[in-house]
């Protein structure tokens, strides 16, 4: 098992998610998660706005199993929208359909999303549907289509590792799309597996949507691809209002500020909330160098507790699977 698989397995462990919540932001998570409550996230947004950077806010949430949890997530997102409006900050919303009940009941999820999208629409705030694993891909697109009958303040994500990504871009070319490489572990039947294939498809999709689509969020920390796309944009006279660069909060901060200073539209993805653990583990899976963040915290007693639980639980999971 690779280090990437190891961290993805940890991110999917509900027991660890629940335990991590009790400890607040630990293991270095504070450098990539902008606080645990709305007050803290608004402060982070204001700081980024002061550099000319706009934000997309993700109220973190994993493992929503019943309607009350999904309703609580909806209420929290509505409160974030109110706070963005009242504080007048430059920010919009990113959310995950599973958090609003997609795995429980499609119609229930639709109603929750409708409430969120309608409130955001009334304040002229954009809502992005983040994309999760393959099983949730088509239902998420279906929700987007249904909701866009009445609302135009919505868009979604295209994950370049999927073979079907080009087809989906074509179908959704009139939407604002964030294009990413893809963060989940997907089987070879549906997704490219090598970095070379994913990077090649990623560049192809970015170029295609920049030329043909409504608006492109170029979401990557990959400087080689960013430089390539900057040249492509210049060569093809792509207007500034048709694209932006996006990166995650806490990653390559210098480059984020530099791109904004160079005059590019830049948006930082700002996650916050008590449910930080799964998000943090997926970031470690993408880039094991981020482990440095953890190592720096290694003498923290509570961190050791969580890491201890993580290691034990992972080993237990492996043993159970072998049976
Ligand atoms: P990748 O990990 O491929 O790295 C390429 C190279 O870039 C590295 O070799 C290194 O040279 C450089 N690099 C990368 N990170 C660096 C760092 N921190 N410091 C220094 N150098 C670095 N996924 C998903 O499935 N659904 C979603 O909805 C989203 N949403 C989303 C929003 C935003 C704003 C971003 C940036 C990403 C996502 N993702 C996502 C995650 C995405 O799919 C992908 O997993 C990560 O962005 C990692 O891929 P990159 O292209 O960033 O670099």
Domains and CATH numbers, the chain: 1-27+289-323 (no CATH), 34-275 (3.20.20.220)
Which whole-number Å values give the CA distances from 147 to 89, 144, 152, 281, 282, in the listed order?
25, 5, 8, 31, 29
Picking from 228-232, 255-259, 294-298, 318-322, which range would have the lowest pLDDT averaged per residue?
Answer: 318-322
Q: Is the pLDDT of residue 296 over 90?
A: no
Ligand 1 pocket residue status of 286, Cβ below 6 Å = yes
Closest by CA to 273, choosing from 4, 5, 12, 79, is: 79
**Which of 2, 55, 222 best tests ligand 1's pocket when mutated (most atoms within 8 Å of CB)?**
222
Return the higher-pLDDT residue of 283 and 297: 283
Confidence of residue 5 (pLDDT cuts 50, 70, 90): confident
**Catalytic annotation on 136?**
no
The verdict on the CB of residue 103 being under 6 Å from ligand 1 is no
Q: Catalytic residue at 130?
A: yes
Distance CA 78, CA 115 (A): 8
* Minimum CA distance residue for ligand 1 atom 51: 220
Element (H, E) at 272: strand 266-272
More confident of the two residues 312 and 272: 272
Cβ–ligand 1 distance for 203 under 6 Å, the answer: no
- Closest residue by Cα to atom 36, ligand 1, is 247
């Amino acid at each position: 098992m690779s280090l990437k698989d190891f961290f993805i397995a940890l991110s999917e462990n509900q027991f660890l998610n629940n335990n991590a919540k009790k400890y607040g932001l630990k293991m270095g998570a504070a450098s990539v998660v902008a606080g645990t409550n709305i007050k803290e996230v608004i402060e982070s947004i204001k700081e980024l706005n002061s550099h000319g950077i706009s934000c997309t806010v993700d109220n973190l949430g994993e493992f929503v199993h019943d309607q009350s949890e999904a309703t609580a997530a909806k209420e929290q997102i509505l409160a974030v929208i109110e706070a963005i409006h009242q504080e007048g900050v430059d920010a919009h919303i990113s959310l995950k359909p599973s958090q609003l009940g997609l795995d429980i009941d499609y119609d229930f999820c639709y109603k929750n999303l409708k409430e969120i999208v309608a409130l955001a629409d009334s304040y002229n705030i954009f809502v992005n549907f983040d994309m999760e694993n393959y099983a949730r891909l088509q239902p998420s697109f279906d929700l987007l289509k249904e909701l866009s009958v009445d609302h135009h303040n919505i868009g979604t994500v295209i994950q370049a590792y999927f073979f079907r990504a080009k087809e989906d871009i074509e179908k959704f070319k009139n939407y604002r799309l964030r294009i990413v490489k893809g963060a989940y572990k997907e089987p070879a039947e549906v997704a490219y597996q090598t970095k070379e294939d994913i990077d090649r498809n990623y560049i192809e999709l970015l170029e295609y949507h920049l030329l043909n689509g409504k608006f492109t969020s170029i979401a990557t920390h990959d400087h080689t691809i960013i430089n390539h796309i900057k040249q492509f944009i210049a060569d093809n006279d792509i207007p500034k209002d048709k694209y932006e660069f996006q990166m995650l909060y806490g990653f390559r901060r210098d480059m984020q500020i530099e791109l904004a200073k160079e005059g590019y539209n830049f948006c930082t993805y700002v996650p916050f909330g008590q449910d930080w653990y799964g998000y943090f583990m997926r970031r470690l899976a993408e880039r094991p160098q981020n482990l440095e963040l953890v190592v720096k915290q290694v003498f923290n007693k509570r961190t050791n507790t969580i890491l201890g639980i993580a290691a034990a639980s992972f080993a237990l999971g492996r043993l159970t699977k072998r049976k």
